[in-house]
Each structure stands twice: as C-alpha cells, then as structure tokens.
A and B are shown apart, each in its own frame.
Chain A
Amino acid sequence: MTDGTILSVRELRTWFHGVGGIVKAVDGISFDLHRGETLGIVGESGSGKSVTNLSILRLIQSPPGHIEGGEVIFEGRDLLKLSPEELRTVRGGKIAMIFQDPMTSLNPYLRISTQMVETIRLHQGLDRKAARTRAVDLLGMAGIPMAEKRIDQYPHQFSGGMQQRVMIALALSCAPEILIADEPTSALDVTIQAQILDLIRDLNGRLGMAVILVSHSLGVVAGMCDTICVMYAGRIMEQGPSDGLFGRPSHPYTQALIKAVPRLDKKSGGRLFSIPGQPPDPESLGDSCAFHPRCDRSMEICRHRRPGQTELGKGHLVSCWLHQKGHQEHHPEDKQELHP
C-alpha cells in the first residue's frame, strides 16, 4: 500500500499528575504511520486523541503533564530524546500541526502576511520578498481566492473555513512530511467541513504528505483515512485498515460506536443503540480493560487484567479478551459469540 514507515509510536504514555491522583491520559499506545498514508485517530472527548498528538511533538505542558515512557521514532531518531534545538527543526518544519479552532491559532493582531512570512523565513531562510511570494502561492494552494490581496488582511476578516485554510497554508509552508490535523473541521459547518476535508485529501495526494487526522466523527475518518485507531480512555481499543475496521469491527466499543451514530444512508428503525454509562474517570482506571464497566460482554478477567493485542488480519489489531485464544474456554459462563 505504502512505502515504509515514517513515524512509529511505541508504548507512548503521557500522564498528568493532578491533585486527586494521576490521570493516565495516554497509557501505552503504539501505531505506525506510513509515507503518504492518512491515519485517523477517533475517540470521544477525553479519550486521549489530542494528548497523543501533542506528545508526539512534545507540546504537553509540564507540569502537570509528563511523558512517562515510550518512543516516537521519526527519521530514525526518538523525538522524545531530542534536544530543544533539534526538536525545533522538526516542529513546524517536518511535522506540522493544525488545530480545531483556527481563530485561536492565529494571532489576531497581525496580518496574515506577517504571520506567514515570519514562519517561512524562520524555517526556510528566504528573504522577505521571496517568502511573501511563497506565502501567496501557499494561500492559493489552500484554496483562498485573491490570495495576493487577502494576505494583507487580519484573521478576523476571514470566515472560519477560510481561517482554517490559512492554517493549512501555514502548515504547508515548510513542506512538512507529516501533517497532524487535530479536529480540523469540528468547529465548521458541514458544507465547509466537506471543502476542508477535500483540500486535505487533495494535498495528501498531490504532495504525498502523510496525515494524522484526529476526529470524534466516525464519518469523517471513514471517508478520509487508510488506517484508523479507535481510542478509549487513553488506550487504543482497535486499530487497522479502515475497510477492515468498518467491515468487521471487532471490539465491543468499536461496534457500539458504529451502531450509536444515526445514519443517513440507513433507515433508522426504532431506538438508537446506546452505550450505557459514561467514559470512566481516568484517575480510577486500574489494571483492567478500560471499557469493561460499559461493555455488555465483559467477563471476569476483564475486571482484573488489561487485554493484550490480538491480530485479526493484516494490521488489524484488537485489545479485547474476547479475542484472546483460550479465554473463552477458561470462562464457560460467558457464552458470547465472537462475531454476532
């Protein structure tokens, strides 16, 4: 499918030390991103999707946050061990990030030109004039009409969708190898969301840039991503190629999440499937499956031990005791079928 791994996250753990105890926001997650691939990280609020991405670039505020362990291998180096100077060339240069709310990511006091030229000069060492020309090109590439005129405007003169385009242009300014998009369309209307997703898809195809797309919307990741990680309470419950994951969702949480979304393409008969209860208090998570209190198929072992990963197909991994060989036999009282 793609040639080679570009970013490899191994057993990443980011904890927050609060007054009430330790919040394990990200607790031992691993995934690989391949060249040119679009990887989706999907999960509900508090599942650790954003913390994962902030940890990759070491943007976690410390204290209270601390990266407790793990590796983030990019170009053969562990980003978690780089010096601040080395890291600065990666951040924004090789790995760029865009956020949910473009208005808070742009400086309201500065013209777009000032903000873009500054970034381009810093990273690429161009002179002011060349940097400006490049900025105009980038804005055009991000789909902003009359870029040479609009570059001298202030952020508030742009609509939400246009601001996000400016952010994308800024992110592209250093021709990054990876674009991390953290809920890039959650603050936007559906028609604008579609435009921005089209743009990201187009840039991914044209520039061969790998994308990590974080979203709470299954619909958004389904249409965009080659590979998907489903996160819950700081852990990856299931990950795999999107066709496999949607075609054969295997973790009870993934199954429930897919069933809980009202869909336009299917006639909804009667009630929506809903997951009882709420996401767990991350401080109280012990050595158990994070989903067991809400899982309708939880077994004794789910309460006491955290499941390892089982490979169901090529790259399709699930962390669930139901799929661990041998555990069905150990618990004859759980007469649940593996695939309903």
Chain B
Amino acid sequence: MSGKENLLEVADLVVSFPLGTTAFSGGARRFVTAVDGVSLAIPKGDTLGLVGESGCGKSSTARAIAQLITPSSGSVRLKGQELTTMGKVELVVARKDMQLVFQDPHSSLNPRMNCGGIIAEPLRIYSRKGIIPLSRKEIDERVGQLMDRVGLARAFRGRYPHEFSGGQRQRIGIARALALNPELILCDEPVSALDVSIQAQILNLFRDLQDELGLSYLFIAHDLAVIEYISTRVAVMYLGRIVETSPSADLYLHPLHPYTQALLSAVPIPDPAIERARQHVRVEGDVPTHARSNQGCPFHDRCPKRMDRCRTDHPQLEETRPEHSVACFLYANKNSSG
C-alpha cells in the first residue's frame, strides 16, 4: 500500500447469513456466505471503489464494516480501533467518524420528517447522548451550513422528502452523512438510481466534498465508468471475494482477471464507431445465487479461460504488477518463485 496512513483496515471479513432449516435439511443449518474473506484498506483522503454485480456481496461488505450486520469473523479497524469487538456505547462514539449514503434516496429518508429534521437527526442523537453537546440554535445553524454545502436552498428546510426530486433527495442523504464531520463515508450505490445529468452533479459534489473536507470514501457501484471516475483504487468483487484490486487507472488499462476483462468489455461506450470496433469478451451464464460449494475459483463455471485446477483449488490474491493484485491461476506461475 502507499505510504499514507490507513483510515480503514479490513482483514478477512466474513459475513454469512443462515438459510433457515427446512423439513428436509435434517435440522442442520445451512449458510450463504455473502462475504468470503475480504481484506481491504483505505488510506486517508482516498476513494476505494468496490465494483461487482448484484449479489456479489458489495453491500454486505459495507454494512459489515459499519457494524450494521455482525460479521461472522474477521477484523474491521477504523483509525486503528477494532470495531468488531466493541461494546454498544463505544461503537456509537466510533461510528461518528463513519457514515453511510444509500442507493435509494426515497427509502433511506424518513417520509414523515422534513428535510431539516432529517439532517439534524444525527446531531440531535449525538447531542442527547452527550457525545457532541450542541444547543438547539447551534444545530439549526449547522443544518443551514450543511444545506448550503450540498447545494440545497435553506428555504427547503421545512419540505418533506416526497417534495424533492431524486437528485435533491440524495443531497439530503449526503448532508445527513456529513452532519457529524465523519472522516469516512461508505457510499452504497449512491448514484445508481439517478439520471445521467443528475448523476454527474452528485459525482461532482462527492469530489468537491473530498477536496474540501479531506474525506475518504468506500464507493460501491456496479457502473465501472462511475467507479473509474471517482476512485483512487478499485476492488472487483465476485461471489463474496475480491478477485482483483489495483490503482484505478491500471485496472482499466491492464485488467488481469478474466472476470474483470468481461466486466469492462460489457460496459457499452457511448460512441457508435468505437462500439462497433471493440473486441468483446463475453461470459456465459448467470451469477450463481445460492449456497454453493466452497471449492475452486468462484468464477470457474463462467470463465472462458478456465483450467482443471480452477475447479478444485482456490486462487489467492497475489501481486502481479506493482500494487495490482489478482486472484487467478493464469498468473500464478509468475510469482511461484516469490
């Protein structure tokens, strides 16, 4: 990693969900492992883009980092503090530095609270708990500042979420996330529900906030072009595992994992001449959704370059280019010596 200090360090994170017992399973519980040994680090002021298709575990990773779901195992360290073993009270204090922005700005805002109330809520909670003591007037002033900051007119303070457009609602969600002056924002598909022209506004806002406030982001999206635009580093997830990670530019110039190559090749480019001339790498089939055997490379049944070994062995992430790691046997012999 780079010389910068890591704000967030995640090691071997595992999240599994019980499937529930059925009359036929003989009482034995089965599990779906949504996140299967994910390790990542975000240096201060950086953006890590997490990309993958539905069901690959991106959201579960973010939620487990925020301790909204309890990880089955692994460690999550924010500013050097281990979150997974913390008590409730400690966690509330620690979580001040880590906030979330969600995909659907409609369902993530309480329809019965007005805009000012939504943005003030974290401040009120932390004030009530005595963690950040603020007077009502100070909270009001802070809400006004936050609305200015994200580009909402202060006059909208009394309006309710349904009176706002999708882009404006996302701005409310961002203002709420900024309320406690966090250092890290976990953004779970924050622009996926927005139209192109609004998406560009919100992406620019994320960038401006990063420049001004020195924020770090974990930015989740399924759109690779968005990820490339916003991220310093990118991690590609498939079925709960990170299959490739590298600095943003290098991933797009030198995708190594067959899945990354297919993913990049599937992104349509808005230019008919380029689109016609492109070579497409296609993968067969769908992402498997259900509990699966833990054997082999998670991508082997769809991979165009699979080998015998892929069915039985599980490839580990290994650095094949500077700061560029891939979990694939195609590149295994290159580092067998090192």
Residues of A at the B interface (CB closer than 8 Å) are 44-45, 159-162, 189-195, 197-198, 216-220, 222-223, 225, 242-243, 246-247, 256-258, 260-265, 267-268, 271-276, 278-279
Q: Which of B196, B282, B289 contacts A198 (CB 8 A)?
A: B282
Q: Within the complex, what minimum Cβ distance (angstroms) separates A225 from chain B?
A: 8
Q: Within the complex, what minimum Cβ distance (angstroms) separates A314 from chain B?
A: 16
Give 25 CB contacts A-B under 8 Å. A44-B195, A44-B197, A45-B166, A190-B266, A191-B263, A195-B282, A219-B268, A219-B269, A222-B271, A222-B275, A223-B272, A223-B275, A225-B272, A242-B272, A246-B271, A257-B196, A260-B197, A261-B270, A262-B203, A262-B225, A262-B226, A268-B228, A271-B204, A272-B200, A276-B201
Q: Roughly how many angstroms separate A274 CA and B198 CA in the complex, as a whole number?
A: 7
Which B-chain residue is minimally distant from A270 (CB atoms)? Answer: B207
Q: Roughly how many angstroms separate A218 CA and B195 CA in the complex, as a whole number?
A: 11
Inter-chain contacts of A225 with B (CB < 8 A): 272
Q: Is the CB of B289 within 8 A of A278?
A: no
Given A190-B266, A256-B197, A264-B267, 5 other A-B residues pairs in contact with their CB atoms under 8 A: A44-B197, A192-B53, A217-B270, A262-B229, A276-B201
Residues of B at the A interface (CB closer than 8 Å) are 53-54, 165-168, 195-201, 203-204, 207, 222-226, 228-229, 249, 252, 262-276, 280, 282-283, 286-287, 289
Which B-chain residue is minimally distant from A272 (CB atoms)? Answer: B200
Q: Roughly how many angstroms separate A273 CA and B224 CA in the complex, as a whole number?
A: 18
Q: Within the complex, what minimum Cβ distance (angstroms) separates A234 from chain B?
A: 15
Q: Roughly how many angstroms separate A218 CA and B167 CA in the complex, as a whole number?
A: 20
Inter-chain contacts of A220 with B (CB < 8 A): 268
Most buried by A among B224, B266, B270, B273: B270
Inter-chain contacts of A278 with B (CB < 8 A): 165, 167-168, 198
Which B-chain residue is minimally distant from A145 (CB atoms)? Answer: B285
Q: Is the CB of A246 within 8 A of B53?
A: no
Inter-chain contacts of B265 with A (CB < 8 A): 194
Inter-chain contacts of A193 with B (CB < 8 A): 266, 268
Inter-chain contacts of A190 with B (CB < 8 A): 53, 222-224, 263, 266-267
Inter-chain contacts of A160 with B (CB < 8 A): 286
Q: Which of A243, A263, A275 contacts B269 (CB 8 A)?
A: A263
Q: Roughly how many angstroms separate A242 CA and B276 CA in the complex, as a whole number?
A: 12
Q: Is the CB of A194 within 8 A of B280?
A: yes
Q: Is the CB of A216 within 8 A of B196?
A: yes
Inter-chain contacts of A243 with B (CB < 8 A): 272-273
